[in-house]
Each structure stands twice: as structure tokens, then as C-alpha cells.
Amino acid sequence: MSSRAAAPLWRRLLKLLVLSILVVQGYFALRIALWKLIPPSSTTFMRAAELRILKSGDHVPWKHDWIPYDAISPHLKRAVVASEDATFLSNDGVDWDAIQNAWDRNHSPAFERSGKVVGGSTITQQLAKNLFLSPERDYLRKGQELIITFMLEGILGKRRILEIYLNSVEWGNGIYGAQAAAQTYFHTSAARLTPAQAARLAVMLPAPRIYQKRLYSPYMNERTAVIAARQWEVQIPR
């Protein structure tokens, strides 16, 4: 009797769980669809940064100015794609080869001893994480990231994805988006960035709060030269 009574309860709980998951995914899809028409005012990462700065008590000026895709230098678009996701225009939002290579390197004895982690995320995956998710590394969050990634690809397309990414990615403490970065580091607009300036900004992206204090370090100079040469090899959305 008790087992027969328990079965409907479990079915109701399972249905509730499935419904909850569908509602959450629908919420993400709706937000993304709205961003096809209007720019996002902020991201989860930006709001977390605001809270971190507020808690620290530091007086960090907040810089974030949205500009349209055509007002961003093609040099910066090419440099960021070359540095962060060379197959951006041709992949489906995920670079499976890069993920496999990152997995192999992260699970090699040398990397496990060093404690370092190599990423294999595309620009679309980074945007999915920045828009909605926490920086925590676990399989559940990674699965949700993949779902949002495919939503972004299917709803927005490559041009809008790159536009939102370049307008929302962190380029230093309190510095978000290409316009704020260009003005802060080179006293110019995002439209007027030179190939060398664009390459230097692209190199900052993996750790902008570290590199903003070492903008002309030997590593930055060397890596900037590499990206400045490599940016002509990649394709960007028109």
C-alpha cells in the first residue's frame, strides 16, 4: 500500500523538477531573444564585480559604454577572435577539439601538480557564462553553459554575439567593454584602435585585472606581437 502511494508522489516531484528546468531555460531564451533587439544593461559578472568593489571599500570608477558593432575597430574584432577563439566564425559555439586538448592537458601529471587549469571555451561560451552564470567550475554549471551557448548561437548569430561580448567583457577593475578599454588605456575610441593597440587589449582578456598593471611587461609585449601578426588570419562577422 505504501509503495503504491509513494509512486504518484515521486512522479509529481519528477514532473515538478522537469517543469522547473523548462521554466529556467525559457527564462534564459526569453532574455536572449530580447537582447537581439536591445543591448543588455549588465551581466552576472558585472554585477558580481560591482558587489566585490562595494565590499572592498575601494573607490574604483565604473566605466561601461555600449557602442554598436560598426563603431568597434575591425582590428579589435580580429585580435580578440585570434586570441580567444580562432574558429569563432566556423564553429557551432563549441570548439570540441579545443575542449579535448584542454582536458588532456589539465589531466596530465605536470598540470595536475602545478594546479593550473587550461580553458577551451569559445567566445560564445564565455559570453554565456558572463551573462548568466557564476565562475564556479562544476559539471552542472558547465552543462547549463552549453545549453545557453547553443541558445545564443541559434537566436543571436555570430555578429550580435561578438557585439555583446566586446561591449560587456571585463578589461580591468571596473572597466567593461571596448569603448571603456580604449579610452582608459590609449585615450582613444574603440573605433580608432590601431592593430597593435587592439592586439594588446586582446591579450589582456584572460586576466585583465592582472595585466592592467603589467600592460607593457615582457610577456605582454611578446604576446601582443604574436596576436598582431595572427589577427589577419582569422575571419570576423561582417
Mean pLDDT in residue range 46-67? 92
Closest by CA position to 76, among listed 173, 149, 220, 181: 181
* Residue 174 cell numbers, joined: 571596473
In DSSP notation, 58-93 reads --PPPEE----GGGS-HHHHHHHHHHH-TTTTTSSS
- Cell 572597466 locates to 175
Residue pair 161/153 in contact by the 8 Å Cβ criterion: yes
80-108 tens-digit pLDDT = 999 999 999 999 999 888 776 766 665 45
Residues 6+ apart with CB under 8 A from 55: none
Q: Which of 71, 69, 80 has its CA nearest to residue 231?
A: 80
Bin 204: left if φ > 0, else alpha if -120 < ψ < 50, else beta.
Answer: alpha
- Please enumerate in sequence order all residues whose Cβ is within 8 A of that of 25, keeping only pairs 6 or more positions apart, or say none: 147, 151
Does the pLDDT at position 228 exceed 80? yes
Matching residue, cell 547549463: 144
* Distance of alpha carbon 211 from alpha carbon 215, whole angstroms: 6
Tell me which of 39-53, 84-98, 112-126, 153-167 is least confident.
Answer: 112-126
Tell me the three cell numbers of residue 179.
569603448
pLDDT higher than threshold 80 for residue 36: yes
Give Cβ neighbours of residue 2 (< 8 Å, ≥ 6 apart).
none
Q: What is the pLDDT of residues 149-159, one digit of tens each?
A: 999 999 999 99
Q: What is the pLDDT of residue 119?
A: 59
